[in-house]
């Protein structure tokens, strides 16, 4: 069994629908360019106001993924 090495990145997702949708948007987009994603952690939640109402939810998410082992 080989050792696994992990990396974490921080991304921000947004959605007018809610926090969960903002997380899903961030994870979905990251998945288009990052392989081997394993977990996520919501580290910040904030929002954008429009006319004294929530216009968009914004979430900062750390995503962890396994690095390739460098062998073909």
Mean pLDDT of 5-21: 96
Q: Report the pLDDT value the prediction gives residue 4, as an integer from 0 to 100.
A: 79
Helix or strand run (H / E) with residue 35: none
Mean pLDDT of 32-44: 96
Q: Report the pLDDT value the prediction gives residue 70, as an integer from 0 to 100.
A: 66
Residue 65: name the closest of 2, 20, 4, 3 by CA: 4
Indicate the average pLDDT of the chain: 92
- What distance in Å separates the CA atoms of residue 26 and residue 30, rounded to the nearest whole number? 6
Tell whether pTM > 0.95: no
Contacts of 20 (CB under 8 A, 6+ apart): none
Angle at 8 between CA 4 and CA 10, to 5 degrees: 165
Q: Report the pLDDT value the prediction gives residue 27, as an integer from 0 to 100.
A: 97
């Amino acid at each position: 069994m080989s050792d696994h090495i992990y990396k974490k990145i921080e991304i921000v997702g947004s959605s007018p629908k809610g926090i969960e949708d903002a997380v899903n948007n961030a994870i979905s987009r990251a998945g288009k360019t990052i392989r081997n994603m394993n977990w996520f952690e919501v580290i910040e939640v904030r929002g954008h106001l429009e006319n004294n109402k929530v216009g968009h939810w914004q979430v900062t998410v750390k995503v962890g993924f396994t690095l390739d082992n460098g062998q073909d």
